[in-house]
Amino acid sequence: MLDKIYLNKMAFYGYHGVFGEENKLGQRFFVDIALEIDLKPAGLSDNIEKTINYADVYNLTKEIVEGPAKQLVEAVAEAIADNLLKTFPNVLQCQVKVIKPDPPIPGHYDFVAIEISRGRE
């Protein structure tokens, strides 16, 4: 079992969606990320170079969620996962959950979300 780093409930404002009002008005998005990585070298050395800087993960995620609009949250999640794996070579696998709390869907619910898991091939 691998060690994990979690960043949960990161909040952003983006313009992703299929409907025109989503692209024009925007809405809130929350993102949860789990990074699978061997943390033993960092724990033994107390050296940030042996782990992942959480601020870098947050900023990468923010650039994507607050960046150019995509139609699907699936595409947002895929872009986040792809960039995490490209940017951080010591991440072996990542899980990305994109939460859309206020989609334009009539009814009563807390949120809609998708979650993907991607790893090195």
For 24, the 3-state DSSP assignment is helix
- For 23, how many CA atoms within 13 A lie in the half-sphere containing its CB? 9
Catalytic hit among 40, 50, 97, 100: 100
Give yes or no: 100 in active site.
Answer: yes
Output 24-28 pairs: Cβ under 8 A, ≥24 positions apart. 27/100, 27/101, 27/102, 27/103, 28/100, 28/101, 28/102
Active site residues: 100
